Structure 1
């Protein structure tokens, strides 16, 4: 067995921060009222995290890069037939690829429509003033119904997949996301996870946070 660093610290922090924020978003959306202020703030944090993950997918640790888990359809079919490769037990396997990209896309669409949503009760997105009333209505309808249900379904499917791999395939996917390391059968590369890479991640997230702050401010500027 070989012990390798699969998930670098920035990826792990992103993952668990996203988990907490999504839970917070669901709770605040259902409670409503004054909690919608926090719903909006958590949405901004999620948007900054998603922008960070997209950037980190190009410059992060080996297994966090998109290039390490973008698979050809033939590879996906082979995996479904039981013909997996050693690297599929390290980072994201072909099915994990579908899950990751689906979650990123749905989350990005959900927080993006939230910027233009207006429930006419407790929350108005910061960019409502930039679009037409029809666009606001469509964004609100998607954000409160389709997008919300789709996100909950994907999260539930993600959790079920983790339980399936743990119980039936004896592959604990949570432990490496907590500790970073994983034991694999083949000598595979470890993800770079040193002080320099962590500082780079911090800078990238700060830039993403600044970008979200600028985006949110666009609506306020238009009102002015």
Structure 2
């Protein structure tokens, strides 16, 4: 299967660090899932756009349930890489992220999709409203990221022992998170309530905390942190 920008980035890191287990939340058509070249792959989606029974194998395990149910009732093993691409809302993604941290280890990577909206319309949590409003205002396109950008600030303010950066080119912006204490920790928003109330304009004023990094340098940085020789 032809790869996506997500699988390209994940594969480059997975190969370099020897990742063997992969978890994807929000599989949909499986364009990224099936293109990820990790030996053991687990996909979670309540509404797969293919018949998971026909695709299951020793390598591919599918759970047609919500991520909440998966983490609560199923998840037991640790994963080397977790890709979060579920609902485009801050609340659900934050919950998925907190749960994902519990099924990772010290050398794992968590990738969060859609963390920088392409415009003010794309930042609206409701997809239909985002697209219809863009069209009404004379815009074009169906780009939609929701308010997942708030995850950057939740991680920055409340997870000082996690480091992150955001890939800013060659595809959709994604934030990569790994376990490494950050120096000079200082919360900026101060509360989850303040973060939950952020707008697209607040994002623009705090874009420095996204740590935007070109893909080439981001992948090299992550590999240097997660490769076995660095541990």
Q: TM range, normalised to the smaller chain?
A: under 0.3
Please identify which structure carries the higher helix content.
1
Q: Which has the higher contact order (CA 8 A, sep 6+)?
A: 1
Instruction: Using structure 2 for the length normalisation, give the TM-score.
Output: 0.26
Instruction: Using structure 1 for the length normalisation, give the TM-score.
Output: 0.26
Please identify which structure carries the higher strand content.
2
